[in-house]
Amino acid sequence: MDDIIYIKNLSFDYPDKNKVLNHINLTIKAGEDVAFIGRNGAGKSTLLLNIIGILDGVGEIEIFGIKMKRGNLSEIRRRIGFVFQNPDDQLFMPTIFDDVSFGPLNFGFSKDEIEKKVKNVLKIVGLEGYDFRKPHHLSLGEKKRAAIATILVLEPEVIIFDEPTLALDPGGRKNIIRFIKSIKSTKIIATHDLEMVLELCNRVILMDDGKIVADGNTKEILADGKLMNDTGMDVPSSLSV
């Protein structure tokens, strides 16, 4: 029972767009670092939101062998963290400290524990001493790291990242990648930053138009020129020599 994610026949429709997910079947095991890649609108974010139970599609989902349903959400969310695409959505409290302690407070950690954890996690993400800064005054790179801190502090077994390097400058991007690499939890990343995928993930799931079109070893898939072209992607330059 070391499947962390098991999905069978999952389909999802938005009110104004059908078949955004089209009969998805998928198993992810503990310790696999998985990248979901595919062009914009392929359905990556939608799939991840189903995995965390924010969207509710038709089909079967089990997380750590726990059935996805209303009564189990709290338990599932305690064990899977989700870092959203836009850090401005994730940071909404008056100060960084309040934001990072938001999760632990909801999950009932004690005061001493929280203070220790927050301090510790801010150090890990390189925002030591930012406790009482206002989130909206930070740079994008800092915001992204703060957003990761709000999840990391909960010490989830799995962390899902949605487009973690989007819109970052090269320095900020390197920084985030190095940092994500150092995280011990199992990582699931939706992105079209393929160089990052090469660096962080050993398994790639390629999506297009709501379906999984390829699933396997990172290098094999990313180096497949025809496959990549057909799905609107490019072979990363470091592989296309």
Partner 1 sequence: MSDGTKILLFIIFVVSAVLIQEGNFYLYISHFLIIVISVFYLRMKFFALLNRIILGLPFILIFSASAFLSYRGFQENLLISLSILIKYSLVLLWGLIIFSDIRIYQGLKQLHVPSIFISITTLMERFIFIFKCEIQRIIRAVGIRSFQKRRFFKTTLAKSISSVMLIRGFERSQRVYNTMTVRGFDGEVRFLLGEKFGFYDIILLIIFAAVILSINLIFW
Q: Give contact residues for partner 1 (rule: CB under 8 A).
A: 49, 52, 54, 74, 77-78, 81-82, 84, 86, 88-90, 92-94, 98, 101-103, 105-107, 111, 114-115, 136, 150-151, 154
Tell the smallest beta-carbon distance from residue 236 to partner 1 (Å): 30
Tell the smallest beta-carbon distance from residue 46 to ligand ADP (Å): 3
* Residue 165 binding Mg ion, by CB under 5 A: no
Strands 186-190 and 158-162, by their bridges, are parallel
Tell the smallest beta-carbon distance from residue 199 to partner 1 (Å): 26
Cα dihedral 37, 13, 68, 75 sign: positive
Tokens 């989830």 sit on residue: 156
Give the H/E segment covering residue 4. Answer: strand 3-14
**Which of 45, 50, 175, 186 lies at the binding interface for Mg ion (CB under 5 A)?**
45
Distance between CA atoms of residues 207 and 194, nearest Å: 14
Distance between CA atoms of residues 9 and 11, nearest Å: 6
**Which of 4, 5, 10, 45 lies at the binding interface for ligand ADP (CB under 6 A)?**
45
Tell the smallest beta-carbon distance from residue 49 to Mg ion (Å): 9
* Residue 20 binding ligand ADP, by CB under 6 A: yes
Q: Which stretch binds ligand ADP (CB under 6 A): 40-48, 101-109, 112-120, 224-232?
A: 40-48
* Residue 100 binding ligand ADP, by CB under 6 A: no
DSSP calls for 84-150: -S-HHHH--SSSHHHHHHHHHHHTT--HHHHHHHHHHHHHHTT-TT-TTS-GGGS-HHHHHHHHHHH
Q: Which stretch binds Mg ion (CB under 5 A): 37-45, 73-81, 217-225, 233-241?
A: 37-45
Give residues with Cβ within 8 angstroms of 25, minimum separation 6.
Answer: 7, 8, 9, 10, 212
Q: Report the residue number, 74 or 238, with the smaller CB distance to partner 1.
A: 74
Tell the smallest beta-carbon distance from residue 114 to partner 1 (Å): 6
Q: Which stretch binds Mg ion (CB under 5 A): 17-25, 41-49, 144-152, 172-180?
A: 41-49
Tell the smallest beta-carbon distance from residue 143 to partner 1 (Å): 12
Question: Roughly what angle, to the nearest 10 degrees, separates helices 170-182 and 140-152?
Answer: 10
CB 6 within 8 A of CB 29: no
Binding-site ranges for ligand ADP (CB under 6 A): 14, 16-17, 20, 38, 40-46
